Amino acid sequence: MSELRKDPILDHWVIIAAERGRRPTDFKSDAPPDTSQSCPFCGDNEHMTPPEICAVCGPGREPNTAGWDVRVVPNKFAALAIEGDLQRSGIGLLDKMGGIGAHEVVIETPDHRAVFCELPREHLVKVLDTFVDRVVDLRSDKRFRHIIIFRNYGSAAGASLAHPHSQIIALPIVPKFVSEKLRAAREHYHRKERCIFCDLIEQEMAMPERVVCRNEHFVVLSVFAARFPFEVNIFPLQHQHDFVLMSPEQRQSLADILADILARYRTILDDPAYNLMLQTSPSTLPKPGHPEYWGTIEYDYHWHIELIPRLTKVAGFEWGTGFYINPVSPEQAAGFLREDAEAQGAGDG
C-alpha cells in the first residue's frame, strides 16, 4: 500500500506509491503513449479495466459491456487505496499516514482516436456531468477532504495512454497549494467582504489585454503572473464556489469554451501536450476552530480551471526557488490566442 509523507521542513505532503519490481533503469525510457489495438480504454475492451464505477449509456446496457458514451473505472495503478484507515503516525520529525483515497479514470469516449475538443457539445456535457456526479459521490466519504480532477494530454504532460481520459483523485488532506488559495481568498473576503477572484475577473475584463475569449457564462484569461507560456485560467463569470453547482446552461457554456480554448491551443500551438486542472472548493467543512475550517467559503472562493500547455522544461532554478521564468508575456500569449481565432474565423467564413 502507498503512504503519505510530510516534508519536515516545507510541510507539503507526497504520495510514496512504490511499484513492485521496478528497476532504477526502468525509468529512463521515454516511450510515447501506447497507440496499439489493445488499449484498455477502447470500446469492446471493457474486460481490460477493473469493474466500472459508473457509465453514461443508453437504457438496458449491462455494466462492463460496450455501448457507453463515458465510463468511469478505478485506476488500475492507483496511487491511493480506497480501503483502509489513515493510521497517522510519526517518528521524531517525520510524519506519515496510510495512502487512503480514491483514484479513478474517466474514459471520455470509447473512440481511441477522438480528439477531446472536437467531441460534440452534448458529449462534452456528458463528460462534465460525470465529473460532477463522481465528485458528489466521493464527497459522501467523510475521509476525503479534497477532490481534484485533471486531464493530462500528451506524453510531455505525463499521459501514459493516448485514449482520451481524465483522472479524479480524492485526498485525505487539503493539499498545501489548494490551502494557500483558500486562505488567500478567505483573507481577502474578511478584509473586503468581496471574492478576490470576482475582483480579479472584473479588473481583467476592464482592461482586456489578457482576455482570450468569453461566452455567456465563462471567460478565459491569460494568467497575469503565468509560470508557463500560454497558461490560461477559465473562470465562471458569476460568483460560484463549487463547480457541482453549475446549472445545465452553465455546463453547456463550459463545454463550448473548453472546446474553444483547446481548439486554439491545437491550432496555434501545434497540438501541444497540456495539463488541465479543475480547482473547486474542498469536500468537507471541518468544524469552526479547525485550521481548515472554511466558514465563508460560499462567499470567498471561486472555482476555476487551470490550463498549462507543456512547451518549456522545468529546470533547476524553478525547482530551487519556486520562481518561474516565462519566455512569453501573458499579453503576447493572449494576443496570439485571440488573433489566430480571428484569422481562422476569416478563413472558415
Q: Judged by CB under 8 A, which of 53, 55, 170, 178 binds a second copy?
A: 178
Q: Judged by CB under 8 A, which of 89, 113, 118, 177 binds a second copy?
A: 177
- Assess contact for 138 and 147: CB atoms under 8 A: yes
Q: Judged by CB under 8 A, which of 45, 75, 215, 312 binds a second copy?
A: 312
Q: How far is the CB of 241 from a second copy (least distance, A)?
A: 14
Q: Where are the alpha helices (DSSP H) in 98-235?
A: 121-139, 176-192, 196-206
Interaction of residue 320 with a second copy, rule CB under 8 A: yes
Neighbours of 150 (CB within 10 A): 17
Q: Binding segment for a second copy among 115-123, 217-225, 250-258, 341-349 (CB under 8 A)?
A: 217-225
Distance, in Å, from the CA atom of 38 to the CA atom of 198, rounded to the nearest integer, reads 47
Specify the residue for cell string 477572484: 197
**Greatest CA separation found in the chain?**
68
Distance, in Å, from the CA atom of 220 to the CA atom of 201, rounded to the nearest integer, reads 10
Which of 10, 346 has the CB closer to a second copy?
10
Interaction of residue 229 with a second copy, rule CB under 8 A: yes
Q: Judged by CB under 8 A, which of 124, 125, 128, 185 binds a second copy?
A: 185
**Cell digits of residue 92:** 521524531
**Looking only at residues 234 through 293 of this chain, which bind a second copy when binding is defined by CB under 8 A?**
268-270, 272, 275-279
Q: Judged by CB under 8 A, which of 40, 67, 175, 286 binds a second copy?
A: 175
**Cell digits of residue 189:** 473576503
Interaction of residue 314 with a second copy, rule CB under 8 A: yes
Interface mask toward a second copy for 131-170; x: CB under 8 A = ---------------x-x-xxx--xxxxx-------x-x-
* Number of residues assigned to the chain: 349
**Looking only at residues 57 through 116 of this chain, which bind a second copy when binding is defined by CB under 8 A?**
79, 91-94
Burial of 305 (0-12, 13-18, 19+ CB in 10 A): buried
